[in-house]
Structure 1
Amino acid sequence: MTHNPDSNDTPIEAAGCVLWRRSPVDGDLEVCLVHRPKYDDWSHPKGKLKRGEEHLAAALREVAEETGYRADPGAELSTLRYFAQNRPKQVRYWAAEATSGSFAPTAEVDRILWLSPAAARSRLTQFRDRTLVDELLTTLRHA
């Protein structure tokens, strides 16, 4: 029997970043969240891998597509595993510092917010995404 990569037990592979910057106003740490109107949720920029694409490349591509920013990747953070549309999904995340760019709304992401880590934690729709903000802070403290 051959393995079907589209079978319901094969995890959907995705990648994303906890995107951060220093505030242009006061130099404080800010975390970027994206709003997806299709789901009316706030999350970290992320998306599915394209065929043959490496996880980190996908994460940086998704950041660029969803936020308009280029980013320098840092430490790899946790991989989140959960079910989406009755299929297992796993999303690998990296800390990434926004380096340049600007946001333009799209059908997929209509708004972004740059928030303090505490505000970002409370704004995130999925509880599982909040631990990634804590990991980012730990990573940056030890950098």
Structure 2
Amino acid sequence: MIRAAGCVLWRPAPSGRGIEIALIHRPKYDDWSHPKGKLKPGETARECAVREVLEETGQACEPGDRLPTVRYVVKGRPKEVRYWSARALGGTFTPGREVDRLVWLPPAAARARLTRAQDREVLDALPAATPR
């Protein structure tokens, strides 16, 4: 089993109305997704999620509610990705080989931009308590 973790990263919209969702573009796959990655030895899923957000977006974050776990098969191996809702606390994005773009979008626009259906399902599960 490949174990991974990530976050639906959000921040209050600059307008003061609702929130924005961070999406990353990975040139290797030419896709838009939530920040996520594989667990390192001895790392908890939550620690991995926070680390991956920082590595891929440059943002420190505060994890909140657990979101659905996504399961799928990659090259014949089962993969499980645990997700959290996470509020962005600030930072600076630096494009790199793994992630070349970061966008902040309102939830509906983020949903439309996401490449995979399972990522849209995770976004849809953001708690009602999250400011929209």
1:36 to 8, 21, 26: 26
1:77 aligns to what? Answer: 67
Distance in structure 2 (CA, Å) of the matches to 1:139 and 1:17: 16
1:136 aligns to what? Answer: 126
TM norm structure 2: 0.95
Distance in structure 2 (CA, Å) of the matches to 1:25 and 1:140: 16
2:4 to 8, 14, 20: 14
TM norm structure 1: 0.88
8 Å contact kept, 1:75–1:139: no
Distance in structure 1 (CA, Å) of the matches to 2:82 and 2:16: 31
Q: What is the Cα deviation at residue 133 of structure 1?
A: 1.2
**Structure 2: gaps (5+ residues):** none
Q: Between Structure 1 and Structure 2, how many residues are aligned?
A: 131
Q: What is the Cα deviation at residue 138 of structure 1?
A: 2.8
8 Å contact kept, 1:13–1:91: yes
For the aligned residue pairs, the C-alpha RMSD in angstroms reads 1.2
For 2:117, give the aligned amino acid. Answer: F
Deviation above 3 Å: which 4+ runs of structure 1? Answer: none
**Structure 1: gaps (5+ residues):** 1-10
Distance in structure 1 (CA, Å) of the matches to 2:31 and 2:66: 24
